[in-house]
Structure 1
Amino acid sequence: MLRVLIVLLLLIPILEIWLLMATGKAIGWVPTLLLCILTGVTGAWLARRQGLQFFRLAQLQLSRGEMPGEVILDGIFVFIGGLLLLTPGFFTDFLGFSLLIPYTRGIARLCTKRWLDKKIRNGQFNVFTFNRFNRF
């Protein structure tokens, strides 16, 4: 997992720089810069709006005594999407917007739930609880 993270941390900035340079060459550096700023501002606005909506929905479900598992997972994806949209570049903007669109976010949620279920069934995912009276 660490190797995958290191490769992603190296490849994504290279891809972003390449896309920014190619776009700048095609439409000019000023429109490219303005497009980058526009996607960041739009993404931050959408993420804030949807994040507040999921926060209110989670509060409502908790007040009814329901567990807001799906809502919390959607909120996490909206947060990640907002962070990706604030990162300059078109590849991360594409990923960020895909997490803000309900249909593609649902696909990501389903894949994440399946991945977590597989990890739990194989015993590779442990949840440790901390009890101050029982140390290990």
Structure 2
Amino acid sequence: MRLLLLFIAVPLIEIALFIQVGGWLGLWPTLAIVVLTAIAGTMLVKSQGAQAMQQLRTSFDDLRDPTEPLAHGAMILFSGALLLTPGFFTDAVGFALLVPGVRNYVLREMKKRVNVQTVRTDRGWQPQDETIIEGTYSAEDEDRPSGPSGWTRH
């Protein structure tokens, strides 16, 4: 039901804002603002998206929880979609999501509603199947492989 209200309310808000701003500034300045916000938004989304990707790579490299960089990346992607949608309300929300403080606030509010559980273990890997036999393999003479793979068992 909320989604239906959102799909009805947002276009109505955009139409009302277009009428108000168009009446105040005129047609061409209003259209110019819409086009310029789309261009500026695209450039900002591109740069912040690259930063979010770098933070995501760093979290993977450091074996840290990637939830926060993923959430920031998703919000940046969503802001890009809003900025490419013509309208003043969607542009305002899109630009707001490009502000890191706003994204942090949204993420904090989302975390209050989502229960995330993680499992950690300090033990090394133990095979569940006792028929697994661990072994060491090394390559024989590279000119004359023994067997189809060129590897032999010690």
TM-score interval, smaller chain: 0.7 to 0.9
Deviations 1:90-109 (A, max 9, x none): 00111111100011111111
TM-score (norm 2): 0.72
| Structure 1: runs of 5 or more not aligned | 122-136
Count the aligned residue pairs: 117
RMSD, aligned CA: 1.4
Structure 1 runs of 4+ aligned residues shifted over 2 Å read: none
2-structure distance, mates of 1:83, 1:62: 26
Higher relative contact order (CA 8 A, sep 6+): 1
Q: Once the two structures are aligned, what percentage of the paired residues are identical?
A: 33
Amino acid at match of 2:32: L
Equivalent position SS for 2:63: coil
Is 1:95 matched with 2:93?
yes
Question: Which protein shows a greater Rg?
Answer: 2
Cα deviation, residue 68, structure 1: 1.5
Cα deviation, residue 30, structure 1: 0.5
Match of 1:82 in 2: 80
Cα deviation, residue 80, structure 1: 0.8
| Structure 2: runs of 5 or more not aligned | 118-154
1-structure distance, mates of 2:64, 2:108: 20
Match of 1:125 in 2: none
Match of 1:63 in 2: 61
Equivalent position SS for 1:43: helix
